[in-house]
Structure 1
Amino acid sequence: MQNGTSNEWLSDRAFGICRLSLLSIYREPVVGSGLTSQLLFGELYQVLRKTKDGQWLFVEGEAQAGSGWILASQHHDLTAGSYSFFMQSPLHITTATLSRVIWEKSIVYLLPGSQLHAGNQEIFDWEASFSFEGSSRPFSKKACREELVETAKGFLNAPYLSGGRSIFGLYEGSWLHLIFKICGYIVPNYLSQLLTAGREVGLSGIQAGDVVIFSNEQGIPSRAGLYTGSGQLLEIHGKVRFSPFEPEKWITGKNKSKQVQVLHVKNLMGS
């Protein structure tokens, strides 16, 4: 048990898959405790513990999708064998602003970054067992920098939401995680973890598709954006929007402000 009272560790891990358009993950097993992340349709997770009353489950999403508490009523159970199969099966990621799938004779709307598992022995055979309308790309196909930037532009005007992970609400970490996931890359879902991810290239080596991490006056990571080239940055400031990226004006001339500091410039594409 954790703290001896509130929740208990499972003796054997349980497994699940998100079968909702969006599944919220909370900081604590209490409604209104705040989001840590969200899962999209088709994303897999492991169940590590539960509350004593069984109404909440603590889950850890695969591919760094995030961890926290979900309502047990929203859990879709998988056997260990099915979970292993899904983990190894070919994967497609939805790219359209809104796709839809008919599953169990009902329509489920899919947001960008949702997962479709495909294979000859697929429990959820997308050619024979259900109807899919939208667009997707194979996760195994790595996008180039130009494609990555175009994918990022698809989230323009999506609002800021702490812990959000969809076009209806995002924060820096989840937004970057989704962009790279759609383009075939796995990167951390949280800003703090981006500090040690990828390869440092610095301002002198920056290219379109690189991630820029800023710090506050105390040197603590505070926000991040995606460099799109031509002196432009996509970032979340109330919503996903373009901002000028002119670091030379921040570190030279009469502007002595320390409020804007580039902490890292990261290549997360591995090339």
Structure 2
Amino acid sequence: MEQKFAICRVAIAPLRPAASDKAEIATQLLFGDAVEVLEEVQPWWRIRNAYDDYEGWMDFKQLIVVSHEEYLSAQDYKTLVPADVVNTVTAQDETAFYLPSSAVLPAYANGSCQIGNQQFKVSFDPYQVSPVTEEKITELAKFFRNAPYLWGGRTLFGIDCSGFSQAVFKLAGIRIKRDAAQQAEQGDTVNFLPEVKTGDLAFFDNAEGRIIHVGILLDQHRIIHASGRVRIDPIDDQGIYNPELGRYTHKLRIIKRFF
């Protein structure tokens, strides 16, 4: 198959492990995400997300085919939507919502962006990612507070634990992988909980030793994570304690630092 590239044209597009609407949602693409097309079984395309190399199947009608040059230019990752509102982009009578942690706007200039042969009018001013600080990470993480948990989710309308950490870090200009086990292989190890700083990621395993959860440490005693909803819970050397259940729910495995 000839090499083909595309950009997501809808606000949220499910990415599935199999070419079927009945397959679970493994993750999501957001408006502006650039992808490489790996396989076609109409109406399904198997794609690889350029941002985190995640692969899956999606309906091709949610994509706009672009040139290799446009695919590469869409990977600047320096200009993002502000993390405070839901915005829109409009092409003629077609409107797409542009959510916080969405990709950069391809070929953005003078209030519009170009995707393939379509020009979208942009309803907001993108911002340039600034150097990350502990205060900024806290602000961004708390922005998602009370977002409902959704397996494979990446947005305010539903997000999973690793989608949450990836979204917050993306808005802060830090690029990490999609799944918790992948993220646990990145960063620098922090040996002890008293040594943590705001923004460190804590990872948790199951009885088999597999990483199954991740959260963002606010300090050595508190963690914000997606579990039922994005929430703040106490943490100690044993793991996350859920006051509502009156027990520990996640066993601490490792802590990593990314900035």
2:208 is equivalent to residue 218 of structure 1: yes
Paired with 2:18 and 2:46, the residues of 1 have a C-alpha distance of 9
- SS, match of residue 63 in structure 1: coil
Paired with 1:89 and 1:243, the residues of 2 have a C-alpha distance of 31
Q: How does 1:169-188 map to 2 (within 5 A)?
A: 169-188=158-177
Judged with a 3 Å threshold, the aligned counterparts in structure 2 of structure 1 residues 23 and 245 are, in CA distance, closer, same or farther, namely: same
Choose from 175, 199, 204 the match for 2:188.
Answer: 199
Question: 2:30, 2:103 within 8 Å by CA — same for their partners in 1?
Answer: yes
Choose from 174, 179, 198 the match for 1:190.
Answer: 179
Name 2:151's counterpart in structure 1: 162
- SS, match of residue 247 in structure 1: coil
Question: 1:113, 1:178 within 8 Å by CA — same for their partners in 2?
Answer: yes
Return 5+ residue gaps in structure 2 as ranges. Answer: 114-119, 241-246
Judged with a 3 Å threshold, the aligned counterparts in structure 2 of structure 1 residues 222 and 92 are, in CA distance, closer, same or farther, namely: closer
Return 5+ residue gaps in structure 1 as ranges. Answer: 1-10, 251-256
Question: 1:50, 1:58 within 8 Å by CA — same for their partners in 2?
Answer: yes
**Bigger CA radius of gyration:** 1
2:193 is equivalent to residue 209 of structure 1: no
Judged with a 3 Å threshold, the aligned counterparts in structure 2 of structure 1 residues 249 and 181 are, in CA distance, closer, same or farther, namely: closer
Name 2:117's counterpart in structure 1: none
Question: 1:235, 1:241 within 8 Å by CA — same for their partners in 2?
Answer: yes
Paired with 1:138 and 1:43, the residues of 2 have a C-alpha distance of 18
Choose from 228, 244, 264 the match for 2:218.
Answer: 228
2:26 is equivalent to residue 42 of structure 1: no
Paired with 2:77 and 2:176, the residues of 1 have a C-alpha distance of 20
Q: Residues 184-220 of structure 1: CA distance to partner in whole angstroms, max 9, x if unpaired?
A: 0100111110121111112242111110001223322
Question: 1:95, 1:136 within 8 Å by CA — same for their partners in 2?
Answer: no
Judged with a 3 Å threshold, the aligned counterparts in structure 2 of structure 1 residues 160 and 83 are, in CA distance, closer, same or farther, namely: same
Q: Which stretch shifts more, 259-268 or 129-138?
A: 129-138
Displacement of 1:93: 3.6
Q: TM-score, normalised by structure 2?
A: 0.85
Paired with 2:48 and 2:255, the residues of 1 have a C-alpha distance of 28
Choose from 113, 122, 125 the match for 2:109.
Answer: 125
Q: Residues 119-141 of structure 1: CA distance to partner in whole angstroms, max 9, x if unpaired?
A: xxx3x4343565433464324x3
Q: Residues 155-188 of structure 1: CA distance to partner in whole angstroms, max 9, x if unpaired?
A: 1111111111111111111111111001101001
Q: How does 1:53-132 map to 2 (within 5 A)?
A: 54-64=42-52, 66-88=54-76, 91-117=79-105, 122=107, 124-127=108-111, 131-132=121-122
Paired with 2:101 and 2:4, the residues of 1 have a C-alpha distance of 24
Q: Give the number of equivalent residue pairs.
A: 246
Q: Which stretch shifts more, 241-250 or 182-191?
A: 241-250
Displacement of 1:146: 1.1
Question: 1:36, 1:67 within 8 Å by CA — same for their partners in 2?
Answer: no
- Identity within the alignment, %: 22
Question: 2:11, 2:97 within 8 Å by CA — same for their partners in 1?
Answer: yes
Judged with a 3 Å threshold, the aligned counterparts in structure 2 of structure 1 residues 90 and 148 are, in CA distance, closer, same or farther, namely: closer
Question: 1:157, 1:240 within 8 Å by CA — same for their partners in 2?
Answer: yes
